[in-house]
Structure 1
Amino acid sequence: MKIKQIEVFAINLPLIKPFVISYATYPNMPSIIVKLTTECGLIGWGESVPDDHVTGETPEATFAVIKNTLAPILIGQNPMQFEKIHELMDAAVKDVPAAKAAIDIACFDVVGKKLSVPVYQLIGGRYHEKFPVTHVLSIDEPEKMADEAEQCVELGYSSFKMKVGRDVAGDVKRIKAVRNRVGDEIAIRVDVNQGWKNSANTLQALRQLESIGLDWLEQPVVADDIDAMVEIKLKTATPVMIDEGIRNVRDMREIIAKRAADKVNIKLMKCGGIYPAMKLANMAEMAGIECQIGSMVESSIGSAAGFHVAFSKKIITSVELTGPLKFSKDVGDLKESYMIPYIQLNELPGLGVDVNERILAELTQYSEVVQ
């Protein structure tokens, strides 16, 4: 089996409501979709959702690097040779993990279809039967976030990920408002997206939140300040998770060596796809660090890829892949697998996602074909 053609689509996924985090507000979600076709006529779908604050890539640059650099060197290659595919991509261009993730995901999808097995069977087999779905609360006024949380509890949600990071005092009010509204039995995870900058600000906030009973605190400081994470972990009983600070094997080695986190948030867009994500999960497992598969608010394609990784590993104990629930229109049908408060994957070959090419065409801003 060899790759015959790669099509690249730049699209905008329409959000039901704007997605607000510490450093940006997204009225819609830019995404790059890859359609990989083999000589035997099979199709694999991949996705890239880059973020210049996280992956160091923009959608425009990602489209260009896939079209001009990655796709041309992969025509004629065997998509089953995952290690070789990544070696070729890494030799052609440094970093650009989200761009490489799109190719990686498309390769796994088409290989699963070729062998008539779900992607999780290619990476260890299914371990988890289902995962709880965590609702993500965008940054808003404290009472509005509490209102949304209360409504979601009534729908069956039992855990929340709160986006904060605008200012410490306001964030403490937001977190307390949600806890007071939903009660002590609901799990609350707080994601600062680097917004508290340093350990001093973070510890100031945690002193006011120790009684709240947070599940964990995620990436309060700037991504590269691993030493600040070490200090926070030593001075608080609240578990801490690294997100933007874990992108590759080098980062994971440092985190393990310094015991800088209780948990790591692995995202396919940060590390380069399914194959590199499995390497990070295996490293974390050897060190006894629990993992989460996180979201860059991908469509059904990228979200399904993350779920296949999560469902295959015991050390992966949580997921936050809720992109398909946030879109008013999606290119795939993964939303059907969400049965709140759980998600359960189907057993279809590849990613198990039916891509609607009519909707893809409707959302496409521009596209290119590489043969």
Structure 2
Amino acid sequence: MIALSVRTERFTLASPLRASWGELREREVLIVRLDFPDGLWGEGEAAPLEPYDGVSLGSVRAALDAYASVLGGLEPTADVLAACREVADLPQALAGVDLALWDHASRRTGTPLARLIDPRAVGAVPVNATVGVADPAAAAAAAATAAREGFRCVKVKVGLSGDAARLAAVRAAVGPEVGIRVDANGAWRTTAEALERLRELEPVGLELCEEPVHGIEGLRAVQAGTKVPIAMDETHAPGAGGVRAVCLKITRGGITGVLADARAARAAGADVYLASTFDGPRGIAAAVHTAAALRVTRSCGLATGALAARAGVIEVPQAVGLA
């Protein structure tokens, strides 16, 4: 039998994040622990963010409680994820179980997680810095600091007032060699609005724009109307095609979910990269290991404090497990 238990962890962001969906100052995540008959254990993390993904912490906790009832009567050789999915097919809850399973497998085999996923995993993952402040001067200062620290890409939240002025200030602060990525979180309501806003922002030089609008057809239409590479994020349809990149999240089904999404996106001709929803340490570690195993070359949005970034990269942990 497998015992599942859950506890809560809270942490405060180093600085508040301002996005089109609201402001984030504090995170609360659920730590999922699986205890196995072999005496070993694994811990994962379930990290919904309701303002962003519409999934409440309460609904995830309820799903995990249901999983605990099922796993208590399950043999260790059974397909744990499939058994949980039959009870509640909630990706944010399944992610916590999935990470715990990978954590256990890494500990049991004594293999660092990235190499367990793929022996060809790289040793470091490129990452971007995120600028989530609305004031142009503050945004420029944050971007300049990131550039001095060695980041070769900064991501700026847009869909707020004064986007063009803020982006111009950021470009002036970082110079021509640092990539600027923008993230609208679907704030632009129509294709026409998105294309108009991108025309305003394009002169600063954009590496890509994440989720200018929500929905597959809207994203395809925006990509067809602009030279700026468009990345799909909240619109979770990695194999749909029509965009240049897909942003993958550990919260959507864990490592197993990301690997499946990456295969679908690449088959559709899109680049992939990973980002967090300001997850806790286990979620960030899982994403770094997965990005290394996928040999991602685009900068990933994982420099959120759980693992130290130096010169624009995060070194992949070589210890076993996620903690």
Q: TM-score range by the shorter chain?
A: over 0.9
**Contact 2:128-2:300 at 8 Å conserved across structures:** yes
CA RMSD of aligned residues (A): 1.9
Tell whether 2:58 aligns with 1:60.
Answer: yes
Provide the C-alpha distance between the structure 2 equivalents of 1:217 and 1:344, rounded to a whole number of angstroms.
Answer: 26
**Aligned partner (choices 136, 155, 158) of residue 152 of structure 2:** 158
Separation in structure 2 between the aligned mates of residue 74 and residue 54 of structure 1, nearest angstrom: 30
Look up the SS of the partner of 1:339 in the other structure: coil
Whether contact under 8 Å (1:191, 1:219) holds in the other structure is: yes
1:119-146 CA distance string (max 9 Å, x none):
2233222432212221111132111101
Q: Percent identity?
A: 28
Task: Tell me the residue number matched to 2:196.
Answer: 204
Secondary structure of 1:245's match? coil
Residues 142 and 134 of structure 1, relative CA distance in 2, 3 Å threshold:
same
1:34 corresponds in structure 2 to 32
Q: Secondary structure at the match of 2:16?
A: strand
Following superposition of structure 1 onto structure 2, how do residues 56-205 of structure 1 map, counting pairs within 5 Å?
56-67=54-65, 69-77=66-74, 84-94=79-89, 96-167=90-161, 170-205=162-197
Structure 2 length-normalised TM: 0.94
Cα displacement string for residues 96-128 of structure 1 (whole angstroms, at most 9, x for unaligned residues) = 211110010001101111111122233222432
Q: Does the CA contact (< 8 Å) of 1:281 and 1:316 recur in 2?
A: no
Structure 2: which 5+ residue stretches go unaligned? none
Against the structure 1 CA distance between its residues 31 and 298, is the aligned structure 2 distance closer, same or farther, given a 3 Å change threshold?
same
Deviation for aligned residue 1:240: 0.5
1:156 deviation in Å?
2.1
Q: How far, CA to CA, are the matches of 1:173 and 1:78 in structure 2? A: 59
Correspondence 1:216-255 to 2 at 5 A = 216-222=208-214, 225-246=215-236, 251-253=237-239, 255=240
**Which segment is superposed worse, 106-115 or 52-61?**
52-61
Partner of 1:360: none
Superimposed CA distance per residue, residues 232-283 of structure 1 (whole angstroms, 9 cap, x where no aligned partner) = 111111100000002xxxx233x22xx2x1000010112x111121111112
Unaligned stretches of 5+ in structure 1? 326-333, 354-371
Partners of 2:9 and 2:29 within 8 A in 1: yes
Q: Within the alignment, does 1:265 sit opposite 2:247 as a pair?
A: yes
Task: Give the number of the structure with larger relative contact order, counting CA–CA contacts within 8 Å between residues 6 or more apart.
Answer: 1
AA partner of residue 14 (structure 2)? I
Alignment of 1:21 with 2:19, yes or no, is yes
The total of aligned residue pairs comes to 323
AA partner of residue 269 (structure 2)? G
* Post-superposition offset of 1:350: 2.4
Post-superposition CA distance 1:9-49 (Å, at most 9, x none):
12221222212211121221111111222122212111111
Q: Kindly tell me: are residues 343 and 80 of structure 1, through their superposed partners in 2, closer, same or farther at Cα, counting changes over 3 Å?
A: farther
1:346 matched to 2:317? The reply is yes
Distance 2:77 2:294 in 1: 21
Other structure's SS at 1:189 match: strand
- Return the TM-score normalized by structure 1: 0.82
Q: Name the aligned partner's letter for residue 70 of structure 1.
A: Y
Structure 2 counterpart SS, 1:268: coil
Q: Give the Cα separation in 2 of the matches to 1:79 and 1:274.
A: 20
Q: Aligned residue for 1:362?
A: none
